[in-house]
Each structure stands twice: as structure tokens, then as C-alpha cells.
Amino acid sequence: MPYPVEQNEKFAAYAHPERLVSTGWLAAAIESGAVANGELVVVESDEDVLLYETGHIPGAVKIDWHTDLNDDVTRDYVDGAAFADLAASKGISRDSTVVIYGDKSNWWAAYALWVFELFGHQDIRLLDGGRDKWIAEGRELTREKPAPAKGDYPVVERNDAPIRAFKEDVLAHLGKPLIDVRSPEEYTGQRTHMPAYPEEGALRGGHIPTAASIPWARAAADDGTYRSRAELEALYLGEAGLAAGDDVVAYCRIGERSSHTWFALKYLLGFDSVRNYDGSWTEWGNAVRAPIVKGAERGSVPVAVGA
Amino acid sequence: MTTQALPTALAAIVDDFQAMSEPERLQLLLEFSEGLPELPDRLKDHPELLEQVVECQSPLFLTIETEKDGGPAGTVRLFFKAPAEAPTTRGFAGVLHEGLDGLSAEEILSVPDDMPELLGLTRAITPLRMRGMTAMLGRIKRKVAAASGVRS
């Protein structure tokens, strides 16, 4: 049974208001017992693997993007059987309404949400503003780990094609819109990793030809919530030059920051066809003969590509 | 590599980690993150005296000081700063602080570079995150070597 959707003026302007919840709404839902009785499952997903343990939203379970969602051998996500086990162990059933939140304006939460969608989970929502907003508002945190009743989750094979792009897909996509959500230094090729972040190894710097540079954080307000529909339109329709109906691919370094942008394009602005290229720069910047543009200009599609 | 090669305090920490299950190890790392001492005021007011270890996923700053009157070799003191929102990074710093603070330069330089792997956290935390701790240890050893004139 889907849990009722939040109604408010900000969300109503978005293409899919049912994909977001506010901190106030979640606090009220917890108060009403919806989390305790399993009507609503709250999931925390952070960059730091121990952050949940320092205190989390009451009733929330933890899913770690690295140890839970990534396959530990192949560079890929877990398969249907592993996902079903994971979901069930967290008290999630196939028809559960799941609210995800996390640190850093929901980077990792959006990434986890995107992985849930690879498995076609229907009702999954983001907590607008994430962990930081919840804490900034002085809301309750606990260290008590819930022991949810096992969920009922079938083995569903991932369906990557609608929302996930591989390198070959991106090569075939060249000429259609791409959004690069990394920092300006990464886009121009001045550096190959995030400022003050570990070097994860890319042999070349720069961006995919024709990609527009819209760093992910520009979609977020100071309190970590998504910007209003009008602001997002100014950013992606105005500055990036997207048009309604476009087929869009977003990328970053490993696909986490671009999940945040993917969410904004797909659910807040309503683009039907948006894919996240999770191979991102750690694949493209190492791939032999992948075309690259350096500097601040978007560049043009190389003639030889695909020939 | 065995813990016998490690300084006593660090060997004891490694033994504690190794005796535990994976979830308990994470809990212990959390305790180390909470036990990391605050910076003394003289460093708090002078962030420029600390160096950032950029290999860590979250901002971590550290510095060392050598106490000249602490015996013939000098005693090395370690100072770390990492935000509360980065408990894993703080936990690594806490382990290195408890295991190495107050030792001599020679003792610190004798710690094997791959010591973090002995904690048995690699699977629970992932190799990517463990890299931050290895980088932290490497930075400490380089600074100690430079300060003491001993080659690592």
C-alpha cells in the first residue's frame, strides 16, 4: 500500500511531487507510527560508512552504497538475488514506500534511490534536504538500530537500459545533450578528481565533447533542499540549453553526484529520458580513444567517432 | 606481518580489532572516532600549522611536534582535526593517535606502511576508504622522518 503523498506548494510545481518528502512531513509520519508499523521504511545512505552509527532518524535503517549496493568483484551493482536479500533484511517489501535520506545534500541517497530504480522499485522518495536539514532543525536522532520484520522481496532482475548509460551508449549518444556535474576544475581538465578528494585514478582530464557544465550542487539550495522548479528550469533549460523532450545523459566521476542531477531532471523537471552514466570520468578518462575536450568550451562531436 | 613488529599500544589495538566480528570492529572504530582528542588551543587558532591529507575522503588535518626533553630520541606528539560528520576518518585518526602518540621517531618509522590492513576492516569499510588511513600513516611517517632527520 503506497503511503499518502505529501502535498505542498513547492513540491506541487515539480513534475513528480510524489518523489519528495519534507523533514516536517517525515517527522509527522514517524510521530503517527507509520515507520514503527512498517507502512513507511526510512533508509539512510551516506558517504561515510559510520555516520549512521553516530545517530540517525528514529526507525531508519542503513544501506551503504559501497558495501551493500556495489558488487564486490565486478564493477557493477548487485544482482537481483542480492538486492532482494538486502531489501528484505531492511524490512522492505516490493510494495513498500521507502524514504531515503543522507549526508552531503543527499548525493549518496540519490545514488541509492537510483539503484532501487534499476530494480524497478515503485514507490521511493527522497527526503528534501537530507540528513543535514533534519539535524539543522534540531529534530530527533537516535543510535537505536531498528530490527525490522523481514520484508517480502522477490528476485527482480535489474533493468538498466531506461536510466543507466554505459560507455557505448554515451558514444552513440554524442550529439544529444550531456550534463557534466563535476566541479569546474574537473570539467576543464585542470584536475581529474574532486578538490580535496582522493585521486581515484583517471589518466586524462577534461570532459565528454559537447557536455554542458552544471555542477551538481547548483541544483541544491543552501539548506540542501532542491531548488524551486523555476530555478531548476533557469539552470537546465536556460543555461545548459536543454529542451522539453530531450534525451539526456548525466555523468560525474563515479555516478554519485550525477544521481542527484538525474533525480532533478527526471522527477522535478519531468524529462522522460534521462540516464546516469555511472562509469563516468573514472571510465571515460581512462578509456583508449574516448574523445575528450579540454578547457571551458563544450566542444563539438568529433567526426571520427562511431565511424 | 604480525603484530609483534608493532609498538606495544598499536599492537594491542590491532589485537582488539582482530578478536572481533566485523560489526563489532565498526563499533570499535566509532569509539575511536569519539575518543580522538580535541586540538590544543594553540593549534585550534592556527589552522595553517596543520596539513591536509587529501587522500582521505573527508577533510583531515594533522601535524606532529617533537618534544626535545622527552628522552634521547625525543617524543613525537600527534595532532589531528577531522569533522564530527566524518566518523570513519576520525576513527582512523583515533587509532593512530592512541597507537603512536608519545613514541619515538624510530618507533613510529618502524610501523609497516600496510599496518591499517591488520585491523580487518577492509571488507566492512572497502579498500577505497581504507586508503585514507594508509595515506594518513604515510603522511605521519614522512613528517616524522623530516622532523627527526631519520630516513624512513
**Exposed / middle / buried, residue A161 (Cβ in 10 Å: 0-12, 13-18, 19+):** exposed
Cell of A288: 583508449
What pLDDT, in 10s, does the model give residues A12-30? 999 999 999 999 999 999 9
Find the range with the poorest average confidence among A141-150, A180-189, B65-74, B99-108.
B65-74
pLDDT in tens, B100-121: 999 999 999 999 999 999 999 9
Residue A240 has pLDDT above 80, yes or no: yes
DSSP string, A29-79: HHHTTTTTTTSEEEEE--SSTTTGGG-BSTT-EE--IIIIIB-SSSSSB--
Q: Mean pLDDT check: name the lowest of A131-145, A275-289, B43-57, B84-98.
A: B43-57
Indicate the helix (H) or strand (E) that contains A251: strand A247-251
Which of B27, B29, B57 to probe the A interface (max A CBs under 10 A)? B57
Instruction: Please report the ipTM that was assigned to this predicted complex.
Output: 0.83
A252 catalytic? Reply is yes
Q: What does the alpha-carbon distance between residue A199 and residue B57 come to, in Å, rounded to a whole number?
A: 10
How many Cβ pairs within 8 Å bridge chains A and B?
A: 58
Cell of B80: 589531528
Residue B19, pLDDT > 70, answer: yes
Distance from CA of A282 to the nearest CA of B (A): 14
Q: Do residues A62 and A43 lie in contact, with contact meaning Cβ atoms separated by under 8 Å?
A: yes
Cα dihedral sign, A10-A13-A16-A18: positive
Across the interface, whether the CB atoms of A199 and B33 are under 8 A apart is answered no
Complete domains list, chain B, with CATH: 3-148 (3.90.1010.10)
Which of A49, A64, A65 is the best mutation test for B, with the most CBs of B within 10 A? A49
A73 at interface of B, judged by CB pairs closer than 8 A? no
Shortest Cα–Cα distance, A125 to chain B (Å): 24
Question: Does the structure show a pLDDT above 60 at B72?
Answer: no
What number of residues does chain A have? 307
Q: What is the pLDDT of residue A26?
A: 98
User: Where is mean pLDDT largest: A80-84, A251-255, B52-56?
Assistant: A80-84
B33 chain-A contacts, CB cut-off 8 A: 50, 54
Q: Would an 8 Å CB–CB cutoff place A136 in contact with chain B?
A: no
CB proximity under 8 Å: B 35-64 to A: 52, 54-59
Going by the DSSP 8-state scheme, the letter that residue A218 receives in this structure is G
DSSP element (H, E) containing A247 = strand A247-251
Given the residues A40, A110, A181, A252, select the one marked as catalytic. A252
E strand spans, A160-246: 178-180, 212-213
A199: nearest CA partner in chain B: B55
